[in-house]
Amino acid sequence: MSEQTKRAICVGEAIVELARGADGRFALASSGDTFNTAIYLARAGTPVAFATALGDDPFSDAIVALAKAEGIDTDLMLRAPGRLPALALADADKNAERRTHYWRDGAPANSLFELPQWSRIAEAMTAARLIYFSGITLSLYSNVGLGRFLAAVELARNSGAKIAFDGNFRPHGWHGDLSRTRTVFAEALKRVDIALPAYDDEAVLWGDPSPEATIERLQAFGVTEIAVKNGPNGALVANGAQRDIVPVPEAIVPVDPAAAGDGFNAGYLAARLAGRNAFEAAAAAHKLAGQVIRHRGAIMPRAGAAVH
C-alpha cells in the first residue's frame, strides 16, 4: 500500500449536541473536536477513519450515518450495547458568549481502549499514514485506557505513521487536576511529530508567556513541526530550524467560533498530506478556519467546504 492510499485515523469522541439557535430553539446535531476534524479532512479528499465507541441507540446510529455520508470510514467506530453517547448542550451566557455543558459519564467513547475489541483499533493504527488526537481525547480515558492508547500510538509511529496532536485543553474534562493533565500531555508529546496547539490553551495549562515559548517547550519534547494558533494574530509555525508567523488572510467577525481550531487542524493536515510545506499548510488552514466561523455550528454546510 502506498503512502498516498494509506488513511488518516482521528481518535476521540463523537457526541450528541443540542445547540440553541437565534430563535431560542434547540437543534440536534453531532460534533466532537476530532470528529469535526475528520469530517473536514474527508471533505478535503483525505482518506480518513474515525476511531471511537458509541452505543446501539438511534443517536449513535445517526452519528455513524453522518460519518458515512461524509465519506469517513466507520470500521473503527465500535458499538457498546446498552450505552449512550455523550451529550453537549450549547447555549449563550449573558454576554452572548458560547457556553457548553457536557454529560459524559458512562459514555462508551471513554472506554474505547477497554472494550473487548480495542485491539482492532490498535492494529488499524499501525497501518495508518497519520494518527490525529487531542487533549480532549486524552481526557476521556482511564489510566489503563491511556496506557493502551499511547502504546498503540508508539507502535503506529514506529510503523511509519505521523502523529499529530492538538492540546485542546478543557479544564472540566480533567476535573481541575492540572498535575495529572501535564503528566499525561508530557507522555503524549514524547510521541508527537506535528503539534497544533492553541496559544490560549498552552498559556493556561503550562503558563507559556508567548507563542515563542510554546514553540521552545514543544521542541524540547522532540516535536519537530509546530503550528501555534493565536486567533487574529495568525499562527506561529516552526518546522525544524525554520520559524515564521503566517498571518490570517482577513479579519472576520465570527458568526460562531465553534470548531475554528478543528477546521484549522484539518486544513493544515490535509495540505501537508498533499505535499505542501508547513507554511503553505498554515495559510490553507487559516482559509478553512475562516470559512468555518462564518457558519453556526461545528460543521458548515457542504457547499462551503472547499479548502483548496
CA 238 – CA 213 distance, rounded (Å): 12
Q: Kindly name the residue from 33, 166, 208, 262 that is annotated as catalytic.
A: 262
DSSP state letters, 66-80? HHHHTT-B-TTEEE-
100-103 contacts at long range (C-beta below 8 A, 24 or more positions apart): 102/15, 102/172, 102/173
Q: Over 70: is that where the pLDDT of 273 sits?
A: yes
Predicted confidence at residue 307, as pLDDT, reads 43
CA distance 228 to 217: 12
Query: Is residue 24 included in any domain, yes or no?
Result: no
State the average pLDDT over residues 192-220. 97
**Type of residue at 63:** I
The residues with which 308 forms a beta bridge, in sequence order, are none
Domain count, the chain: 1
pLDDT at site 253: 76
Mean pLDDT, all residues of the chain:
92
Q: For position 261, which CATH number holds?
A: 3.40.1190.20
114: which DSSP letter?
G
What is the model's pLDDT at position 46? 97
CA 189/CA 213 separation, integer angstroms: 16
In a domain, 91, yes or no: no
Task: Assess whether 262 carries a catalytic annotation.
Answer: yes
Task: Please check whether residue 308 lies inside any domain of the structure.
Answer: no
User: Using one digit for the tens of pLDDT, what is the confidence trace for 11-20?
Assistant: 999 999 998 8
- Weakest mean pLDDT among 127-131, 172-176, 226-230: 172-176
pLDDT tens-digit readout, 149-160:
999 999 999 999
**CA atoms of 226 and 239, how far apart (whole Å):** 6
Q: Quick one: pLDDT at residue 308? A: 41
- Residue 292 scores a pLDDT above 90: no
pLDDT in tens, 66-111: 999 999 999 999 999 999 999 999 886 655 567 889 999 999 999 9
**Per-residue pLDDT band at 246 (split at 50, 70, 90):** very high
Say whether pLDDT at 231 is over 80: yes
Q: Which of 95-99, 130-134, 293-297 has the lowest mean pLDDT?
A: 95-99
Give the model's confidence band at 192: pLDDT under 50 very low, under 70 low, under 90 confident, else very high.
very high
Range of the domain at 274: 8-12+33-53+110-301
pLDDT score recorded for residue 305: 46
Q: What share of the chain is helix, strand, coil (3-state, %, to 5)?
A: 40, 20, 35
Query: pLDDT grade, residue 4 (50/70/90)?
Result: low
139 in any annotated domain: yes
In-domain check, residue 129: yes
In a domain, 65, yes or no: no
- Domain membership flag for residue 102: no
Strand order in the sheet with 225-229: 77-79, 48-54, 8-11, 130-134, 162-166, 194-195, 225-229, 235-239, 242-246
* Percent of the chain predicted with pLDDT > 70: 94
Residue 285 parent element (H or E)? helix 278-292
Q: What percent of the chain is predicted at pLDDT more than 90?
A: 80
Q: Beta strands of 146-248 (E only): which ranges?
A: 162-166, 194-195, 225-229, 235-239, 242-246
Determine the Cα–Cα distance for residues 303 and 87; give it in Å rounded to an integer. 27
Contact 73, 48 (CB under 8 A): yes
Asked whether residue 21 is assigned to any structural domain, the reply reads no
Residue 308, C-alpha cell as written in the block? 483548496
